[in-house]
Chains A and B, each alone.
Chain A
Amino acid sequence: MHLLVCGGTGCHASESDAILWNLRDELEAKGLSDKVQVILTGCFGFCEKGPIVKVMPDNTFYVQVKPDDAQAIVEEHIIKGRKITRLLYHDPKTKEPVGDSKHMGFFKKQLRIVLRNCGFINPENIDEYIARDGYEALGQVLSEMTPEQVIEIIKDSGHRGRGGAGFPTGFKWEIARRNKSDEKYVVCNADEGDPGAFMDRSVLEGDPHSVLEAMTICGYSIGASKGLIYVRAEYPLAIHRLQVAIRQAHEYGLLGKNILGTDFSFDISLRLGAGAFVCGEETALIHSMEGHRGEPTIKPPFPAESGYRGKPTNVNNVETFASIPVIILKGAEWYKRIGTEKSKGTKVFALAGKINNVGLIEVPMGTTLREVIFEIGGGIRNGKKFKAVQTGGPSGGCLTEKHLDVPIDFDNLVAAGSMMGSGGMIVMDEDDCMVSVAKYFLDFTVEESCGKCSPCRIGNKRLYELLNHICEGKGNVSDLDRLRNMSLVIKDTSLCGLGQTSPNPVLSTLDNFMDEYIAHVRDKKCPAGKCKDLMEYYIIPENCVGCTACARVCPVNAISGERKEIHYINPEVCIKCGACMEKCKFDAIIIR
Chain B
Amino acid sequence: MSQIKSLADLRKKREEIKAEMDTRIKAIDPENHVQIKVAMATCGIAAGAKEIMEFFVEQLDRRNIQGVVTQTGCMGYCYAEPTVEITLPGREPVVYGFVDLKRADQIIEKYIKEGELIDGIIPVNYETIDSKE
Contacts and interface: CB of A to CB of B under 8 A. Distances in A.
B45 A99 contact: no
B73 to A, nearest CB: 6
A252 to B, nearest CB: 5
Given A80-B41, A99-B130, A99-B132, A130 B14 contact: yes
Contact of A131 (B21, B40, B44): B21
Contacts of B133: 103
A81 B21 contact: no
Contact of A56 (B1, B20, B27, B41): B27
Query: Binding site of A, secondary structure by majority: helix, strand, loop or mixed?
Result: mixed
A143 B7 contact: yes
Given A4-B24, A57-B26, A135-B10, 16 more contacts: A56-B23, A56-B24, A58-B27, A59-B27, A81-B71, A83-B73, A103-B132, A130-B14, A131-B18, A131-B25, A133-B14, A136-B7, A252-B1, A260-B4, A260-B5, A260-B9
Contacts of B5: 253, 260-261
B66 interface: no
Contact of A97 (B38, B45, B129): B129
A130 B17 contact: yes
A57 B132 contact: no
Given A59-B27, A81-B49, A133-B14, A103 B21 contact: no
Contacts of B59: none
Contacts of A97: 129
Nearest to A103: B133
Contact-residue size bin, chain B (C-beta under 8 Å from the other chain) = 35 or more
Contacts of B7: 136, 139-140, 142-143, 260
B32 interface: no
Interface string A65-86: 0000000000000001111000
Interface residues of A, number: 37
A251 B68 contact: no
A99 B129 contact: yes
Contacts of A98: 132
Nearest to B14: A130
Given A96-B132, A251-B1, A136 B24 contact: no
A251 B3 CA distance: 6
A146 to B, nearest CB: 16
A23 to B, nearest CB: 16
B110 interface: no
Contacts of A443: none
B10 A57 contact: no
Interface string A117-128: 000100000011
Nearest to A144: B7
Contact of B40 (A80, A96, A136, A261): A80
A1 interface: yes
B102 interface: no
B4 A253 contact: yes
A251 B49 CA distance: 46
A12 B25 CA distance: 24
Interface of A: 1-2, 4, 56-59, 80-83, 96-100, 103, 120, 127-128, 130-133, 135-136, 139-140, 142-143, 248, 251-254, 260-261
A112 to B, nearest CB: 10
Contacts of B25: 131-132
Nearest to B6: A261
Interface of B: 1, 3-7, 9-11, 13-14, 17-18, 20-21, 23-28, 30, 38-42, 44-45, 49, 53, 68-73, 128-130, 132-133
Contacts of B73: 81-83
A268 B53 CA distance: 47
Contacts of A82: 40-41, 73
A80 B45 CA distance: 7
A99 B128 contact: yes
Of all A-B residue pairs in the complex, the 8 with the closest CB atoms, nearest first, are A81-B40, A81-B71, A253-B3, A57-B27, A139-B7, A58-B70, A99-B129, A131-B17
A533 B45 CA distance: 65
A533 to B, nearest CB: 47
A142 B10 CA distance: 13
Nearest to B13: A130
A81 B72 contact: yes
A98 B3 CA distance: 45
A511 B133 CA distance: 40
Contacts of B10: 130, 135-136, 139, 260
B50 to A, nearest CB: 8
A99 B133 CA distance: 9
A259 to B, nearest CB: 9
A57 B4 contact: no
B21 to A, nearest CB: 5
Contacts of B17: 127-128, 130-131
Contacts of A120: 24, 28
B26 to A, nearest CB: 6
A97 B26 CA distance: 24
Contacts of B1: 248, 251-252
Contacts of B129: 83, 97, 99
Q: Which of A56, A97, A142, A254 has the most chain B CB atoms inside 10 A of its CB?
A: A56
Contacts of A254: 4
A252 B14 CA distance: 13
A98 to B, nearest CB: 7
A4 B24 CA distance: 9
